Amino acid sequence: MPHLRLALAQLNATVGDISANADLVVDWARRAAEAGADVVLFPEMVLTGYPVEDLALRQSFVEASRTSITRLAARLADADLAHLVAVVGYLDRTDEPGHPKGGHPQNKAAVLTGGQVVSSYAKHHLPNYGVFDEFRYFRPGQELQVVRLRGVDIAIAICEDLSQDGGTVAAAAEAQAGLLAVIYACPYERDKDDTRGELVARRAGEAGCPLAYVNLVGGQDELVFDGDSMITDATGEIVVRGPQFVEELVLADLDLPAAVVPMDASATAEAAGLSGMAIARRLVSEAPAEQPDRGWITPRVFDRLSGLEEVYLALVLGLRDYCKKNGIQRVYLGLSGGIDSTLVATLACDAIGAANVYGISNPSSYSSEHSKTDALELAQRTGLNFATVPIAPVVDAFEAAIDIDGIAAENLQARIRGVIWMAESNQHGPSIVLACGNKSELAVGYSTIYGDAVGGFAPIKDVPKTWVWKLATWRNEKAIACGQQPPIPENAITKEPSAELRPGQKDTDSLPPYEVLDEILADYVEGDKGRDDILAMGYDADLVDRVMRMVDLAEYKRRQYPPGTKISFKAFGRDRRLPITNGWREGRSPVPARTVGKNDPERTAS
């Protein structure tokens, strides 16, 4: 039985930086070769980064990727890696004479060896849901590529090809492949359990051969990729599994079934079978007379992280890469002593180091003493930079100049704070302000535009309020388990939340308890359930109507909110796309557009 040593390189690529990504591939290919690998798999579109979005429509970018993949093959050979087979994701196009751009963009995997691109496979199934718009950009492939290496037929697939019944997986079975190699760029989502592991196991059984899956790792704007690369045997049992949220070279020794389909040194092709895909074969090498005696790598299966640790590490990685890849050296944020800003500050310290985090306390005449002391205690526990800038004199100056009261006066305080944070960030760049709002507040419009909503990134934008408390508690427990001081003051976790914009204000003055609110929001926002469905769960009708109304009216505010790491099935932004001007109201007559004005009594802030 032929033997292959396989390497899965789960890397952190940067969208658009083709040169740096190519360097990354060469570096990790060298590591794979030094580990004795015969073949190394790199993630989907690792050469360009993923997702490239409308860069795929720019001819110069497509051509840069096409040129770079050819140069990459030569670079690997020049680095004494010509013997290694590398499967590399990149952006290509169809070749269509007369097409204004030479052809349609394609999401491809190239097989590089001996200084050449010996085969390339175009992604067959293009996802068009959630954050994915691949049908907008790419032309699908219709041909399965099978590469024979050391006497083993390796079939190539890309990401969503694995998720769909039939197609590429069925074609791999028809081709009698000895290994199905799948390169992925699959973003992280919480509450997925182990759906990837279950999918990989099921598809291995359908393909009738072992399956190797390599995933991207790292943050890209609102997405974060968690790695978690794996290999299963032909029965679907996971025999090798990589870690989450870190770059890693995952290695495995595999005894694989020998190729049984005859072929000579020239390429052969088979007509489409039941899968509907043609099968193209490329010969790299037949089985050697003798297998190398290089020992056996002990397979390692990393344990999956707990749900809370997954989310926390996803948020840290998303923020770290947003700063690193955009050249941001420091971050500023308002520290109110509340749980949201406290968690964001802690995430920032873990992501880029406390020395690069600047917290600003802006007490007003309504700020409680514990808010001031809790913010200071957080700074002392974490070591972040801390300053206090009272806003009462500035508020007095504004109120002397203009006549405002009520919500307008409350929002004035938030906007003054936002001006201070932005001024500090502008003065001491390259830096950004972090917005500290959570998903529950964002859902119902409980934020102030140009106030607490200012910033360049919103780390907990997709984190419900109840999860903010869970994550803060987990982070403290993690510190204790490691023999460290918990970073988050206990009072920040236990005290009742308040915006502190008027005397004695509590969040529950305007909102239902967060435990109830988050349950309704999960059904309405993430589950797309209608009013009748939610009422059937036992909620009060007036409460449901009020929450739904607040969510609907806050759409324009969410459009102006900074980007933030996606961790849920349906995050605000590309996942959930609703019109701002929208007269549809379930269970009631359509609401005239004029009721969406700033004097709406149910608008908590604007």
The confidence score (pLDDT) of residue 459 equals 98
588, HSE (Cβ side, Cα atoms, 13 Å): 14
The confidence score (pLDDT) of residue 591 equals 46
Contact 444, 520 (CB under 8 A): no
SS3 442: helix
Model pTM score = 0.92
The confidence score (pLDDT) of residue 583 equals 84
Q: How far apart (Å, rounded) are the C-alpha atoms in residues 367 and 388?
A: 13
Contact 276, 167 (CB under 8 A): yes
- Residue segments in the chain with a per-residue pLDDT below the cut of 70: 264-275, 289, 292, 367-368, 498-505, 587-606
3-state helix, strand, coil in the chain (%, to 5): 35, 20, 45
Task: Report the Cα 571 to chain-centroid distance in Å.
Answer: 11
CB contact set of 516 (below 8 Å; sequence gap of 6+) = 539, 543
Q: How far apart (Å, rounded) are the C-alpha atoms in residues 397 and 83?
A: 73
Task: Walk me through the domains of the chain, giving residue ranges and CATH numbers.
Answer: 3-291 (3.60.110.10), 308-506+554-572 (3.40.50.620)
Closest among 587, 383, 331 to 487, alpha carbons compared: 383
CB contact set of 445 (below 8 Å; sequence gap of 6+) = 550, 551, 553, 554, 557, 603, 604, 605, 606
DSSP assignment letter at 367: -
221, HSE (Cβ side, Cα atoms, 13 Å): 12
Look at the block and give the residue holding tokens 């997702």: 51
Closest among 56, 354, 304, 334 to 195, alpha carbons compared: 304
Strand pairing category for 85-93 and 39-41: parallel
Residue type, 65: S
**Residue 235 CB-density burial (10 A; 0-12 exposed, 13-18 middle, 19+ buried):** exposed
Dihedral, 122, 85, 66, 136 alpha carbons, nearest 10: 30
Q: How far apart (Å, rounded) are the C-alpha atoms in residues 478 and 474?
A: 6
Active centre residues (catalytic): 44, 123, 159
Contact 371, 337 (CB under 8 A): yes
Closest among 13, 41, 11 to 252, alpha carbons compared: 41
The confidence score (pLDDT) of residue 274 equals 64
